[in-house]
Structure 1
Amino acid sequence: DAHTDNFGRLQVDKQQNYILEDAQRKNSGRNHQGPLVIKFHRSYDTCDDEDDYIIDKGTTHLVYFNHKGPISSLDRINLMEEKVIVQRVQLLKSQIPDAPKPTDVRELVVHVDQVPVPLDETTYWCTVKKLPNFVDKHHIIKYEGAISKETQGIVHHLEVFNCQIPEGRDVIRYNAPCKSMAERPKGLESCTKVLGAWAMGADYMTYPFEAGAPIGGPHMSRFVMIEVHYNNPLHISGLVDSSGIRFYITRQLRRFDAGIMEIGLEYTDKMALPPHLPKWELHGYCIPECTEMALPSKGIYVFSSQLHTHLTGMKIYTKHIRGGIELPELNRDDHYSPHYQEIRRLHEPVLVLPGDALVTTCVDQTRNKDNVTLGGFSISDEMCVNYIHYYPLVNLEVCKSSVTTKSLYDFFDLMKRKFDDDIDLENGISYNYQTIDWTREKVDMLRNFYDTAPISMQCNKSNGVKFPVN
C-alpha cells in the first residue's frame, strides 16, 4: 500500500549479486500514486553453496514483510522496524493435474469425539469407531485433516487405521489414551492398516487418475481406530478436541486400489542421537529380501510421499537401489521443517520392483541438547520415516529397520569395559544410552556401530504379522 512515484525491479546479475534498479515513472509531470512493485528472480541453483541454497522440490522458506506508509525507495526501509514473516512452501510442485471430481462424491469425516486433551506434554489418544455400511466397495480419492479450531497447534499428527478382522467379528469400543499393544484390549492389535494420515502443516491429499484407496464392501471390516498425537508442552487445560480426517469417497472405482506403506526406522529407543552435534545421520532400511517377498512381480508405483521427523530433523531423503545401482531418489527435503509435513505428489510415479532397496536417511542436529535424544513417540523423542502412497495395493504395510538388540548390548558392554561408564544391562536401553558421557571418541564409536551393526526388520503385513524375512 506504499505511495510512491518510483517502482523497483530486483534482479540477479551474473555474479548473483542483488541489484535494485529504480526507474522513474512519469505521469504528465505529476507524481503517480500507487503501490511499489518488486519483481524478484534468480536461478534455481546459483552454484553458491555458501550464501544461497538450491530451490528444489523440497521446502523453501520465504521471508517477507508488508510495509504500509509512504516511501520513496527501497533503501529507506528499515527492516529492523518491520514485522518479518516466514512462510514455508514447496515452490516446485508436481504439475500432474488432479483427476476430475466424480459427480457422486460424498464426504465422510472420521474423528474423535470431544476428547479432553490431557495436561501431559505427549499423549496418544485412541478411539475405535464403526464406519457407515458401504455395501459395495468404494474408493477414497482425496482426504484432508479436519482439525478442531481450538486444538490447532496441539494436534501434532493423527492416523486412521482399519481393523483387520474377519467378517462377523466385532471390536471392543475403546476411547482412552493409547497403550502398548500388550496392554490394549483384545482385538485392537488388528487395527494396523492405514486409511489416512495427517501431520502438522499438511494440506489435502489427492489420488491419481488411475488409483483410489478402497473402503467398504463385503470383505472390509467397518471398524477403524483413530490415533491422535497431542503435543501440549505448555500443559494447557480445558482443551476439548474432535479432530479427524475428512475422506472424499466415490462409487466410481478406478483401475487400481492404492495403499500407504511406512518405511524408515522403527519407533524405538535403539535409535539414538548424541548431544551437541551440528549434524548426525541415521539410516532406516527397507531391504531387498523384504520387497522380494512382499511385492508383486510387476512391482508397485509410488506416487506421493510424506517425510516425517520430530524437532531435531533438518534434512530427510529416501534413496532407491536396484541390484546395487542407485536410481533417482524417491523423495528429498534438504530444508525440512517438522512444522510443515506435506504429503507431496511426486513429479512422476516411481516403479519399485521386488528386490529393490529403499534407504531413508535423516540428518539431525542436537546442538542445544544436553543429553542423548532417543527414538520414540514423544515430540522430544525422534522419528525417521517416510509414508509412501502407492498402487496397486499389496499386503506390505511396514518396511522399517533397527539395529539388533544383541548388538546394541554388546556396544554398551564395550563402553563399560573401555571407558568404565556406569552401564547396567539390567536397566534397559534408554538408561544405558543416557548414562554415557558422550565424548568425541564415543560419538565416533557409535557412528561406526550404526554403520556396521546387523539390523532387525519390521517387514510386516497389514494385519501386523511379519513376512518370514531373516
Structure 2
Amino acid sequence: MANLGFFVRATLGCVVLTAACSAGGGDGQGATSNEESESGGEPTSATSSGSAGPGSESGDASDADSGSTTGVGDDVQVVPLRIDAFSVPTIETYYACFEFSFSLDQLGHIVGFRPHIDDSKHVHHYVLSKLDEPTGQQDGYSCFDLSGEMIYTWAPGGTDWMLPPEAGFLIGDAPGGTATLRLQVHYNNVAGDTGFTDSSGLDLLVSKTLREHNAGTMVFGDIEGIQIPAGMAAYEHVATCRAGATTTLLSEPMHIFGTAMHAHELGRVLWSEVWRDGAMSYELNRDEPYLFDSQHMNPVDLVVEPGDEVRTHCIYDSTARVDTTIGGPGTGDEMCWNVVTYWPRVDQPIDQCGTGN
C-alpha cells in the first residue's frame, strides 16, 4: 500500500484532508488549475455539518467495478463520506442535504466514485455537488435546488464509476485552501414508514496527481415542461438544448465520457440525439426499455460541438394514471434527464440545458 501523503480524519462532523507532501501535479489543464479555481467558482472557504466515515485508505484502487478505463494507480486516497444516522422523514417525498468540508494542502482530482446505499428502501437517488461556501445549515435540511456545481449522481442500479485517465474533478481551491461538498438525497417514503435511519454516502477516490483535463457534469433534458396526459400508452416528451445554447456554453468541443438516462415510474424509453447542421448526427445514449431499478452511467467517447443541438426524448406510459402527471421532484412526478460527464470543464458550469416542447 503506497503512502499518498494525504490523511483523513473525522472531527466534529467534518472530513479534513491534509497533505504531508508539497503541491504538485501533471501537465495540461488540470495542472494549471490554480488560477481557474480562484476565479471559476471553486470552493474558497468551508465548515461542515456533515459526518464522515471512520478513516481512509491509500493504494491501488484500479480494481473498482467499472465499464471504463480507470487509469488509477497507487497515488489514490479513498475518502469515505457518510450521512450520520439520519432519521428518514415519514412524508412521501423529502429532499435532504448534507454538507462535508475539506481542508487540503494541495489540489487533487476526484477520479472515481463508489456509492454506498444504506436504506435502499427509501433512498430514491442522490446528487453530489461542489459549493462555493458552506450554508451553515443543520444536517438533513430541506432542499430541492441544485445549488453549486454537480459532479456525481446515483440512482438505483448505479455502481462504481471511474473516470478515464485523462480527466478528473478538481477538488480544492488552491494549496492550503478548502472545499465543500453537498450531498442531496431524495427520500421516497410512500408508506409513511417510521423508525428508519439512513447512513448512505459514497467513497471518493482522490488522486494527488493532477490529470490533463478538469471534468464536469451536466444534464441534457428538463423537468418543468413535462405534462403527461392520463391514459396514454406512449406519450413522448422532447427537451431540446438548442444550438444557440451550446454555442454560448461551449468555447471548444465537449468530450463526453459518461451518460446516464433518468426518469421516474412512467418512463419506458429514453434517449438523446445530437443534431449537427440540421441533421441527426448520432444518439447520445438510449435506454430501451428504461428500467428504474437499473440506472447506471454508460461509458462512451463522444463529442458535442459548439452549435450542436441535443434533443432528449422520453416516452411515458400513463395508462394507470387518472390525472395529468407533471414534471417535479416526487416519485409520482416525472423527469426527462440525460446526465453526462465530460471534459474539459466549462468556465461557467451549467447544471441543465433543455426546454420541453
2:105, 2:155 → 1: CA distance? 31
1:104 and 2:56 are equivalent in the alignment: no
In the TM superposition, what is the alpha-carbon distance from 1:157 to its structure 2 partner? 0.5
Q: Aligned residue for 1:155?
A: 123
Which residues in structure 2 correspond to 1:44-63 (within 5 Å)? none
1:291 and 2:243 are equivalent in the alignment: no
Q: Aligned residue for 1:87?
A: none
Q: 1:386 aligns with which of 329, 338, 341?
A: 338
Other structure's SS at 1:140 match: strand
| TM-superposition CA deviations, 1:139-188 (whole Å, max 9, x none) | 1111021111xx113111111111124xxxx532332342466xxxxxxx
Other structure's SS at 1:130 match: strand
Other structure's SS at 2:230 match: coil
Query: What 5-or-longer segments of structure 2 have no aligned partner?
Result: 1-65
Q: Aligned residue for 1:134?
A: 104
Q: 2:268 aligns with which of 307, 310, 314?
A: 314
Amino acid at match of 2:91: D
In the TM superposition, what is the alpha-carbon distance from 1:250 to its structure 2 partner? 0.8
2:294, 2:312 → 1: CA distance? 19
Q: Aligned residue for 1:201?
A: 157
| TM-superposition CA deviations, 1:276-301 (whole Å, max 9, x none) | 1110000111111111011123x110
Q: Aligned residue for 1:243?
A: 200
User: Which has the larger share of helix?
Assistant: 1
Amino acid at match of 2:263: T
Deviates more, 1:371-380 or 1:106-115: 106-115
Q: Aligned in 2, Cα 1:180/1:326: closer, same or farther, shift over 3 Å? A: closer
Q: 2:142 aligns with which of 178, 183, 200?
A: 178
| TM-superposition CA deviations, 1:244-280 (whole Å, max 9, x none) | 1211111112111111011101x32x42100111100
4+ runs of 1 displaced by more than 4 Å? none
Q: Aligned residue for 2:116?
A: 146
Query: What 5-or-longer segments of structure 1 have no aligned partner?
Result: 1-94, 182-188, 404-449, 451-470
2:166, 2:204 → 1: CA distance? 18
Question: TM-score, with normalisation over the residues of structure 2?
Answer: 0.77
1:258, 1:367 → 2: CA distance? 41
1:337, 1:258 → 2: CA distance? 28
Q: Aligned in 2, Cα 1:179/1:300: closer, same or farther, shift over 3 Å? A: closer
Q: Aligned in 2, Cα 1:216/1:310: closer, same or farther, shift over 3 Å? A: same
| TM-superposition CA deviations, 1:318-369 (whole Å, max 9, x none) | 00011112111111111111111101112xx111111111110001100111
Amino acid at match of 1:390: Y
1:122 and 2:90 are equivalent in the alignment: no
Q: Is the CA contact (8 Å cut-off) linking 1:128 and 1:226 kept in structure 2?
A: yes
Amino acid at match of 1:202: G
| TM-superposition CA deviations, 1:172-227 (whole Å, max 9, x none) | 2332342466xxxxxxx8x3211321111101111012111111241875122211
User: Which has the larger share of strand?
Assistant: 2
Q: Aligned residue for 1:400?
A: 353
Q: 2:189 aligns with which of 232, 236, 254?
A: 232
1:222 and 2:179 are equivalent in the alignment: yes
Q: Is the CA contact (8 Å cut-off) linking 1:295 and 1:396 kept in structure 2?
A: no
Other structure's SS at 2:219 match: strand
Root-mean-square deviation over aligned CA pairs: 1.9
1:211 and 2:175 are equivalent in the alignment: no
Amino acid at match of 2:201: G
1:311, 1:124 → 2: CA distance? 18
Other structure's SS at 1:303 match: strand
2:173, 2:228 → 1: CA distance? 45
| TM-superposition CA deviations, 1:227-247 (whole Å, max 9, x none) | 100111122111111111211
Amino acid at match of 2:210: L
Q: Percent identity?
A: 26
1:278 and 2:248 are equivalent in the alignment: no
Larger Rg: 1
Other structure's SS at 2:232 match: coil
Other structure's SS at 2:148 match: strand
Question: TM-score, with normalisation over the residues of structure 1?
Answer: 0.59
Q: Is the CA contact (8 Å cut-off) linking 1:129 and 1:173 kept in structure 2?
A: no
Give the length in aligned residue pairs: 290
Indicate the structure whose relative CO is greater, using CA pairs within 8 Å and at least 6 residues apart: 2
